[in-house]
Amino acid sequence: MKHKNFSYAKYGYLFCLPFVLMFLTFSLYPLIFTTSIAFTDRAGPNVAGREYNILTTTVIDEAGNEIEETDLFGNFRLLLNNRGFRNSFGNTLIIWSINFAPQVLLALLLAAWFTNRRTSIKGQGFFKVIFYMPNIITAATIALLFRAMFLFPKGVVNDTMIQWGLMEAPKNFEVDPWASRLIIAFIQFWMWYGYTMLIFISGIMGINPEMYESADIDGANAFQQFFYITLPNLRTIMVYTLITSLIGGLNMFDIPRLYSLGGPDAKTQTSSLFIYGQAFEGTYRYNVASAASIMIFIIIACLSVIIFYLMRDKDAAKLKKIQKEYKKAQKLAQKAGDK
């Protein structure tokens, strides 16, 4: 061969270059920029040539003089004491939890039915296509569609409820905080259970079929098989679903923005709406909005780590620990032997 010692390594770097450059410019730089803004007084409309400084506060020293002291975490402190921020974070958690629990339960149930070999469900392909459909439709459109359907006093839902005798008079859903939260949670649930179901189905299909066969031989019924084989083996997929759903849920924007604009009385104001409001709706408080983004991100990261830790495979972890100790003991024994 002509180039026996020719190294192709440079092409590895070369072909990654577009990715790396774009990542640095449009992801990493904005991330660092956001972080740094969070510690400054960068607020007000963008004006060319204006300078921004790290936050300071005025404190009075022992001699009674007023001195300027840097106050790095001023924006964060402001947020922690801000009722709007706390309220929006609480709302986000409430709406996410209301949607997540039923979503996972329904997805699990459907996945168990669709993968059960005894009750083979026909038309699965059709059901999968229909259940997944809301997930790919523009969330903005769905939010306004539900808004139109829940109109007061004459709307699809009010009309139907009255016709079916479920309600006596039309209800103004728009002004009821819990109704608004429930509707937003329902929309999220409705958009996502099909996706979660598909993920669970592929997870169940990845489980070794021999486990089910030997369970059959041992006479385990469908419920036992579900609880003792399917559920434990779905652990990784569950963690994945929980974390991706949490990330998505804590960044929820489109639906509360267009369905209720955060109302009534800011009861459906989510964190993302809060951040958007601080930065882009006339107040230009970029610094506070940045600090809020960073805080939400840190909370997401911490929650993810906690979920990983709580849902980790305890037996596997134990086994690893024992193996480690065993190796240690072996080494020690070897050392002692060498002497």
Partner 1 sequence: MVETSRHKHIKMIMQIFIYIFCIFLALMCVIPFIIMVVNGTRSTVEIQQQAVTLLPSVHIMDNIQYMSLGVFNAWIGFKNSMIVSVGATACAVYFSSLTAYALMAYDWRLRQPFFTFILAVMMIPAQVSAIGFYQFVFRIGLTNSLLPFIIPAIASPTIVFFMRQYLLATFSIDIVNSARIDGAKELYTFNRIVLPMMKPAMAMQAIFVFVSSWNNLFMPLVLLTDYNKFTMPVMVSQLRGNIYRTELGAIYLGLTLSVLPLFIVYFSLSRYIIAGVQLGGIKE
Residue numbers 283-322 binding partner 1 by CB under 8 A:
286, 289-290, 293-294, 296-297, 300, 304
Given 74, 203, 256, 262, the residue binding partner 1 (CB under 8 A): 203
Residue numbers 240-269 binding partner 1 by CB under 8 A:
240, 243, 247-248, 251, 253-254, 257-258, 261
Residue numbers 80-139 binding partner 1 by CB under 8 A:
110, 113, 118-119, 121, 123, 125-134, 136-139
Q: How far is the CB of 244 from partner 1 (least distance, A)?
A: 8
Q: Which is nearer to partner 1, 24 or 59 (CB)?
A: 24
Given 182, 276, 303, 311, the residue binding partner 1 (CB under 8 A): 276
Q: How far is the CB of 334 from partner 1 (least distance, A)?
A: 31
Separation of alpha carbons 149 and 130, rounded Å:
20
Q: How far is the CB of 146 from partner 1 (least distance, A)?
A: 7
- Choose the stretch contacting partner 1; rule: CB under 8 A; options: 85-93, 94-102, 197-205, 317-325: 197-205
Q: Which is nearer to partner 1, 310 or 332 (CB)?
A: 310
- Choose the stretch contacting partner 1; rule: CB under 8 A; options: 58-66, 95-103, 151-159, 169-177: 151-159
Q: Which is nearer to partner 1, 31 or 310 (CB)?
A: 31
- Count, in order, helices (H) and strands (E) of the chain: 16, 2
Residue pair 174/181 in contact (Cβ under 8 Å)? The answer is no
Residue partners of 30: CB distance under 8 A and separation at least 6: none
Given 53, 57, 202, 214, the residue binding partner 1 (CB under 8 A): 202
Q: If you write DSSP's letter for every residue of 179-232 in order, what string do you get?
A: HHHHHHHHHHHHHHHHHHHHHHHHHHHTS-HHHHHHHHHTT--HHHHIIIIIHH
Three-class DSSP category at 42: coil
Given 155, 177, 263, 264, the residue binding partner 1 (CB under 8 A): 155
97-103 contact pairs (CB < 8 A, 24+): 98/181, 98/182, 98/185, 98/189, 99/185, 99/186, 99/188, 99/189, 99/192, 99/249, 100/242, 100/245, 100/249, 102/189, 102/193, 103/188, 103/189, 103/192, 103/193, 103/196, 103/245
Task: Say if residue 79 is exposed, middle or buried (CB neighbours under 10 Å; 0-12, 13-18, 19+).
Answer: buried
Q: Which is nearer to partner 1, 23 or 326 (CB)?
A: 23
Given 148, 175, 317, 333, the residue binding partner 1 (CB under 8 A): 148
Three-class DSSP category at 256: helix
Q: Which is nearer to partner 1, 46 or 65 (CB)?
A: 46
Given 39, 85, 100, 200, the residue binding partner 1 (CB under 8 A): 200
Decide: is 232 part of the binding site for partner 1 (CB under 8 A): no
Residue pair 267/173 in contact (Cβ under 8 Å)? The answer is no
